[in-house]
Amino acid sequence: MTAVSFYFQVHQPFRLRRYTFFDIGESQDYFDDAENARIVKRVAEKCYIPMNQLMHQLVTETKGEFRCSYSISGAAIEQMKLWAPEALDSFVALADTGAVEFLCETSHHSLASLADLDEFRAQVAAQKRTIRETFGHEPVVFRNTELVIDARIARAVEEMGFRALLGEGADHLLGWRSPHHVYRPEGCETLKLLLRSYSFSDDIAFRFSNRGWHEWPLTTEKFSSWLAGVDEDDAFIGLFMDYETFGEHQWADTGIFDFMKSLPQALLAHKRLSFRTPGEVALQHDPVSRLSIPRPVSWADAERDMTAWLGNPMQRSAQEALYATLPTMRALEQRGDVSWLGSWRKLSTSDHLYYMCTKWFSDGDVHKYFSPYASPHDAFITFMNVLDDLSRRAQAALEAQAGPNETGPDDTSLDDATATESKTQ
């Protein structure tokens, strides 16, 4: 029997307000709370609440045969607590069904796994506590930001005690292999790797409403027949996608909700198919082989690499400058002042780098869709201005707290060249 494993990503970043050179030293009002509240309320109304009601209905109607999983970033949970508590309540109701698994990730949807493993572990630990306290679940499966994995990240995830790790079934990673089997990352001894079937996933997430697609319209009968047609020995089919696919990216009038409403029964009509969460798949299946992951792989863009976030000099400069300030934030945290690290972690969210992407063609259109800025350069300037102000204020706070015989970490404010570049409107 082949398991169908649905995993949905739920995330909202703390977007920055228009912060110029003239705001540096004058304002600590970094985040656009009005816009963040407006967006999370809109997405809750269009996606989270109606989709959660539907998922609850599907679990009930199938007596728990329909099962799925979610990874909800700590940033999204915090925003729902602030501005859309009814949406968070609907996720808690799903947790109570016993048919929904909640995965772990970094608390702030960051790329800390590539920049600082100590910060990566700290954010994972914070998110684990949040999932436990919010949903009453102890997460056993890990999903890194944007499905970013490599051998080093896999080893760190295994050391933190997770049963399984999710990844992208990229062609350059798998070669001739199928994404429908469980693997073990090279260098790990217990961790299992579950990969996304990007073709089937993107049929729903991206192609569903595309009238130019040769398979449009996508019906549940057609889609279920495709899944039932995979090899008999395939362990699972990983359908991993953004939850905002439903109602936000694919509007209700495309029929996406009706499609999802009828899909479970269509799939269960094929006796060889069942639903399992990622944790259940990992429990039921042993790895078929080891998989070498020498370089980071993600689920973004055609390249399935890190170029969506670190592909140009602006992005790399912003990432390096951000993590150069981390020692100061840690030093302040150790002295009992956690507010600085809290603001820093909101800046560590990968979306800020994503907005700076300068790609063209179809991938560039996707980046533009999600960006609140007029251009990637505007995103870079705003981010660097905020980081400049935060780093200066944090360094001053640390020096003010230090005793006469104490010295703080090296000055982590932006270097002159970077600061000069960032201090433009």
* Burial (Cβ within 10 Å: 0-12, 13-18, ≥19) of residue 296: buried
What is the reported pLDDT for 414?
53
- Note whether 12 and 40 are within 8 A (CB): yes
Single-letter residue type at 400 = A
Does pTM surpass 0.85? Answer: yes
What is the reported pLDDT for 408?
52
Cα dihedral sign, 277-281-282-288: negative
Model confidence at 261, pLDDT cuts 50, 70, 90, reads very high
In degrees, rounded to 5, the angle at the alpha carbon of residue 18 between the alpha carbons of residues 13 and 23 is: 120
In CATH terms, 2-291 corresponds, of 3.20.110.20, 2.40.160.20, 2.130.10.30, 4.10.110.10, to 3.20.110.20
DSSP E strand stretches across 135-269:
141-142, 164-168, 184-185, 192-196, 236-242
d(CA 127, CA 129): 5
Given the structure tokens 């694919």, which residue do they identify? 250
What are the b/e assignments for 407-421, b being 16+ CB within 10 Å? ebeeebbbeeebbee
Reference 62, options 281, 278, 275, 277; nearest CA is 275
Write down the mean pLDDT value for the chain: 93
* Residues whose CB is less than 8 angstroms from the CB of residue 131 and which lie 6 or more positions away in sequence, other chains included: 72, 102, 104, 137, 138, 139
For residue 115, give both structure tokens: 């920049």
- Note whether 309 and 294 are within 8 A (CB): no
d(CA 36, CA 13): 8
Model confidence at 419, pLDDT cuts 50, 70, 90, reads very low
What is the reported pLDDT for 360?
66
Share of the chain above pLDDT 90, in %: 90
Beta pairing partners, 194: 166
Average pLDDT over residues 252-272: 97
Q: Write the DSSP symbol of residue 110.
A: B
Average pLDDT over residues 228-256: 97
d(CA 30, CA 18): 8
Domain layout of the chain by residue ranges: 2-291, 309-422
Cα–Cα distance list, 149 to 4, 141, 168, 200, 296 (Å): 22, 14, 8, 21, 5
Read off the pLDDT of residues 337-395 as tens digits, 9 standing for 90 and up.
999 999 999 999 999 999 999 986 444 455 455 688 999 999 999 999 999 999 999 99
Average pLDDT over residues 122-132: 98
Read off the pLDDT of residues 297-322 as tens digits, 9 standing for 90 and up.
999 988 999 999 999 999 999 999 99
Write out the catalytic residue numbers. Answer: 146
Pairing mode, if any, of strands 192-196 and 100-102?
A: unpaired
d(CA 334, CA 189): 34
